[in-house]
Structure 1
Amino acid sequence: MPTFTDPLREIDAASVKEYALQRGAAELSDDFVQEACQRVMELAKPQAICQQCFYDNTSHMVLCDSPFTISSPTACQRIEDSAIVLMYAVTLGEAVEKEVDALFMNKDITRGLALDSALAVATAGYTKQLVDMLDEAGADKGYKAAWIMNPGTGDWPAGQMANIAQAVHAEQIGVSLLPSGMLMPRKTVTGVIGLNFIGGGCSGSCSACAMAGHCGE
């Protein structure tokens, strides 16, 4: 099962500040944001793992070592419309989360929110790095990532994050499943990525294409 261990490239400071403010930070200086981003870069041990998703259209079941039925009509439709579907898990490790917990325990709420927000933004950024790598790997054969979806978004229950983690054997990148169904590290993200055949002359935009939904057939 392929693993991805490239270094974390960067963390978008503006996104960190916006995310922290949305979560209730009354005010957040640029210095706090930069400090949080730098600390995540120092502590993070980014890893990702992915596996092709074998899916039964009739039962909406993912066929793997730990089979499960996808509970999202939206995800099911996207999977059925895609040429290739990959399940994945992404983690930046436990060290950053332990430091976040320590800050909150010491009632350093502002720094805790800043660091936790930087961790969330960095995890999303590393997921994009994974997608970029898949695009590079699929370019020679004409495949490109068309969509990505995670449990906990849209109509997909967050509890299925654990199903995907089990399916891709996320323990290989240090992710564990608690009896409660929660993943550790807590900021672990799992989901599915759909790839479609775009061929050599396609721009990757389907909105104006006569073959939208049917390319590669």
Structure 2
Amino acid sequence: MPLFTDPLKEIDAASVKEYAQQRGAQELSDDIVNEACQRVMELAKPQASCQQCFYDNTSHMVLCDSPFTVNSQAARQLIEDSAIVLMYAVTLGEAVEQEIDKLFMDKEITRGLALDSAAAVATAGYTKQLVDTLDEASAEKGYKAVWAMSPGTGDWPAGQTANIAQAVHAEQIGVSLLPSGMLMPRKTVAGMIGLNFAEAGGCSSCGGSCGGCAMAGHCGE
């Protein structure tokens, strides 16, 4: 499976603060936010595993070593409208989550929320880096990334994150699947990316599913 190991470029402090405040960290100084961002940059060992998705339109199954049915009408439509679909899993590694757990155990709740929020924003940012890299690489062959979607968005059950992680052999990047179905590290994300021919790309090919698409607002760029 192709592995993506580029360094994490940056963490948007404003997004971290907004996310932490939405989760109840109202008394959050910029210093704590910046400290959290810096700590994630120091501890993170970002990696991604990616592979092409082979999909059967009739059964709605992904055909791989661990085949599974895509339980989302929105995702099915996006997949079926795409020339190529790639599956991915992204992780920042265990060290960040160990630090988060330690802060909460030490009752450093505000700092724990800040670090947890910084890790979430960083994971989303690294996923965007992966999409951008795949977009650039596919452009050489006339393709463009026109959508990205993960379980837990739209009508796609979050539990299918584990299916995708298994399909891309995320154990190669240090991700393990617990008997409960939970992935470790917990901040692991997985999803799919759709490519279309550049001249047919953009909003015209997405099937009207912008509400569940990570590229919403950017797919025409």
Asked if these proteins are the same fold (TM beyond 0.5), I'd say: yes
Partner of 2:4: 4
How much does 1:205 deviate? 3.5
Quick one: percent identity of the two aligned structures?
83
Instruction: Provide, for residues 1-28 of structure 1, a one-character-per-residue CA deviation record: whole Å limited to 9, x for no partner.
Output: 1000000000000000000001111221
How much does 1:206 deviate? 3.3
Instruction: Provide, for residues 100-159 of structure 1, a one-character-per-residue CA deviation record: whole Å limited to 9, x for no partner.
Output: 000001110000000000000000000000001001101111111111110111101111
Partner of 1:104: 104
Paired with 1:177 and 1:167, the residues of 2 have a C-alpha distance of 12
Contact 2:147 2:206 in 1 (8 A): no
Paired with 2:16 and 2:142, the residues of 1 have a C-alpha distance of 34
SS at match of 1:7: coil
The letter for the 2-side match of 1:164 is: I
Paired with 1:130 and 1:120, the residues of 2 have a C-alpha distance of 16
SS at match of 1:206: helix
Partner of 2:116: 116
Partner of 2:180: 180
Paired with 2:206 and 2:158, the residues of 1 have a C-alpha distance of 27
What are the within-5 Å matches in structure 2 for residues 32-181 of structure 1?
32-181=32-181
- Find the partner of 1:206 among 178, 181, 203: 203
SS at match of 1:9: coil
Runs of 4+ in structure 1 deviating by more than 2 angstroms, as ranges, are 204-207
Instruction: Provide, for residues 22-79 of structure 1, a one-character-per-residue CA deviation record: whole Å limited to 9, x for no partner.
Output: 1111221000000000000000000001010000000000000000001001000000
Paired with 1:69 and 1:192, the residues of 2 have a C-alpha distance of 14
Q: Which has the larger radius of gyration?
A: 1
Contiguous gaps of at least 5 residues in structure 1: none
How much does 1:213 deviate? 6.5
SS at match of 2:203: coil
Paired with 1:132 and 1:26, the residues of 2 have a C-alpha distance of 33
Aligned residues between the structures:
207
Paired with 1:87 and 1:65, the residues of 2 have a C-alpha distance of 13
How much does 1:181 deviate? 0.3
Going from structure 1 to structure 2, the CA distance change for 1:46 and 1:58 (only over 3 Å counts) comes to same
Paired with 1:164 and 1:17, the residues of 2 have a C-alpha distance of 30
Paired with 2:197 and 2:49, the residues of 1 have a C-alpha distance of 22
Higher helix share: 2
